[in-house]
Copies of this chain bind each other. A is one copy, B any other.
Amino acid sequence: MKKLLIFGVGLIGGSLALALRRSQSDWHVVGVGRHGDSLQEALDLGIIDEAATDLALALQDTDVVVIATPVAQTPAIFSSIAPLLDVNTVITDVGSTKADVAADALRLLGAAASRFVPGHPIAGAEKSGPAAANADLFVNKNVVLTPLEATDSKALDAVSELWLATGARVRRMSAAEHDGIFAAVSHLPHLLAFALVDDLASRPNSAQFFELAASGFRDFTRIAGSSPEMWRDISLANREALLQELDTYQQTLSQLRELLHKQDGNQLLALFERASRARTDWAQQHPQQASSWKN
């Protein structure tokens, strides 16, 4: 019997639990949360075996602790579990940024920091809560682990195995590299979409824009419907890398503006061709990421 303790049994935490239980029947899953209803729902749905009422008891003999709450809660969770952890318990998380979590772990987990493996499953999250949990969520998805220098190799192996058991592909890189990549491919696009929608919504004739906006607008701005709190947290947590990406992007836009101003059709065409080819190639080479299980 192996024991998994999950803080935050929502879409990600719940799906991880379901995937692991499907892969191995001897997981005992304990859920910890701030919302009694949500934990009850997770129990009723068979996602967890037990809803924790006593943290010390919950942490006894635990093999893996997964922190899957909104990222703002992670430091407090670190502080609360640090004095209660068994010497072999491995801890991991699922947050969208890694350098900040790694720094918090070093600062707050004490000796247990060497058994913390920062992790990030790249999996869809439009729905939320335990009812959205799905054992297939991570199949063929990427999971990035960003072990610290201090991270124990056995802990790293344990978390790698955990994710491999869900059907995911696991890769490792530094926290800095992770945060830089996701600033570019995820965090910046969210900010850009938020900015466009807010701009249009603030205009006196905003209704007319929204009346006539169609499929291009729909796709480009879908991510602007995301959780504002989550994105405030991600933006602040990944501020350095985001500022860098934003500056780079502003330069690209200025160059584009110049081409348009000069009416340089050839250079505009070249830019659009490079982008269109790259986008089409990507969709063909990564159909899993370029399509959605939701559709």
Contact = CB atoms under 8 A, between A and B. Distances in A.
Interface of A: 122-124, 141-142, 144, 181-182, 184-186, 188-202, 206, 208-229, 231-232, 235-236, 239, 242-243, 246-250, 252-254, 256-257, 260-261, 263, 265, 268-269, 271-276, 278-280, 282-283, 285-286, 289-292, 295
Contact of A181 (B209, B278, B280): B209
A229 B199 contact: no
B142 A212 contact: yes
Given A220-B192, A282-B210, A242 B260 contact: yes
A196 B202 contact: no
Contacts of A124: 214-215
Contacts of A286: 210-211, 213
Nearest to A218: B290
A192 B217 CA distance: 11
Nearest to A191: B256
A289 B236 contact: no
A286 to B, nearest CB: 7
Indicate how many identical chains form the complex.
2
A214 B186 contact: yes
Contact of A199 (B191, B213, B231, B248): B248
Nearest to A225: B279
Top 8 A-B pairs, shortest CB-CB distance? A228-B272, A201-B278, A197-B275, A185-B213, A189-B220, A198-B275, A194-B275, A225-B279
Contacts of A273: 228
Contacts of A198: 252, 271, 274-275, 278
A248 B209 CA distance: 15
A260 B197 CA distance: 18
A103 to B, nearest CB: 16
Contact of A219 (B142, B144, B185, B219): B219
A285 B182 CA distance: 32
